[in-house]
Amino acid sequence: MAAIAHTIHAGHRHFGWSRDNPPVARVAPGEAVEFDVIDGGGGQVTPASTAATIAALDFATLLPLHGPIAVDGAEPGDALKVTVLSVAPSGWGWSAIIPGFGVLAEEFKDPALHVWKYDPAGREPAMFGPKARVPVRPFPGTLGVAMRDPGVHSALPPRRTGGNMDTRDICVGTELYLPVEVPGALFSVGDTHAAQGDGELSGSAIESPMRIAFRFDLVKGRALDGPWFTTPGPVTGHLDRKGYHVACGIGPDILPAARDAVRRMIEILVRLHGVSPAEAYMLCGVCADLRLSEVVNAPNAVVSLYFPRVVFE
C-alpha cells in the first residue's frame, strides 16, 4: 500500500460542494491520504442518543464533507482515479427513521433510532436486537470532487462529479474514476457506513465514523461525464450464502413500484420474523438490495427487493 502522505483530521470539514473551498492539503499523483471521517449525522448522534435526538436533528450540519484535497496537475478534462486503500471502522454506529426522509416517508412519520455496536474487524455480524444479525461491509457513502458551477451545492443529492452516491461496492480495492471540472479536482469524502443495502431505503445505513485511506492518480485528457468504478472481486458474497426473500413491485413508474416492493418486504419480515414494521423498515435500509429486474416489457417494469435470509438464520 502507498505510504500515507497526509492525514486529514475530523475537524477539517465543510458543508456542500464548492469550487471556491480552499484545499486543506495538496498531494502529488500517486500519493495516499487518510481521512478521519465523522458519521453522516455530523456527530449529533452518540451511543447514548434516543429517538428524541433524531427528532431534533439540525439538518444544516448533516452530511459534513472532509477535505477538500487538491491533486497537483489535475485540470478540467482529466479524470481523477481514486483507489480505496483501507477502511478502519470505529465499532459503533446508528440507523434511524428520520421524519420526512426515506422511500416511505409518508408512512413512517415517527422518529426511531437503533444504536449498533459491532466488531470493527468484521469477524462477527452487527446485532440488531436478539433476532437480526447484519454482516459488516464498510464503505464511504459520499466521495467526489467539486463541480465547475459557481456557488455552494448541497451534499445530499449525488452529482455528475460523484458525491452522495451511497454505493456499497465502492469499498476496499475499488478504483473509482471521477471527472475533473476544476483545477486540483478538490476531492472530499464523508458519510461512512458500516453496512447498507442497495437503495438505502429507509434513509440511513449503519452510519458510522471511521478512518479511510485513498490513493489519488490522474488520467490526463480522459474527459468523463460521470463516475464509473472497477471492483476487485465479487460484490455480494457476504450476503448470498443463505439466499434471499424477494418482494416485487410492478408498474409503469419505477419509484412507486419500488415503494410497493418495500411495503411487501416489510409485511414479510413482520410476519416471518416478528419484528415491528419500523424495525423491518430500518433493516431494509441497512441490508436489502433494490434491483431493476425488468424494464422492457411495456408498459410495466419490475422492481425487486432482495432481503438476505442470513440476517435472521
Of the CA atoms within 13 Å of residue 159, those in its CB half-sphere come to 20
What CATH class is the domain 239-311? alpha beta
Confidence class of residue 305 from pLDDT cuts 50, 70 and 90?
Answer: very high
Instruction: Of 76, 87, 65, 82, give the one whose Cα is nearest residue 27.
Output: 82
Over residues 201-250, the pLDDT tens digits come to 999 999 999 999 999 999 999 999 999 999 999 887 778 889 999 999 99
- Decide if pLDDT at 192 tops 80: yes
User: Percent of the chain having pLDDT more than 90?
Assistant: 93
* 239-311 has the same fold as 4-230: no
Contact between residue 38 and residue 13 where contact means Cβ atoms under 8 Å apart = yes
Contact between residue 34 and residue 6 where contact means Cβ atoms under 8 Å apart = yes
Instruction: Of 123, 37, 125, 51, give the one whose Cα is nearest residue 87.
Output: 37
Confidence class of residue 70 from pLDDT cuts 50, 70 and 90?
Answer: very high
Instruction: Of 72, 192, 34, give the one whose Cα is nearest residue 120.
Output: 192
Q: Give bridge partners of residue 13 from the DSSP assignment.
A: 66
- Decide if pLDDT at 2 tops 80: no
Query: Which residue ranges make up each domain of the chain?
Result: 4-230, 239-311
Contact between residue 97 and residue 111 where contact means Cβ atoms under 8 Å apart = yes
In three-state secondary structure terms, 62 is coil
- Decide if pLDDT at 114 tops 90: yes
| Helix (H) / strand (E) containing 261 | helix 254-273
- What residue has cell string 486529514? 8
Angular region, 242: left φ>0, alpha ψ -120 to 50, beta rest? alpha
CATH superfamily of this structure's domain 4-230: Acetamidase/Formamidase-like domains (2.60.120.580)
- Decide if pLDDT at 1 tops 80: no
Of the CA atoms within 13 Å of residue 241, those in its CB half-sphere come to 7
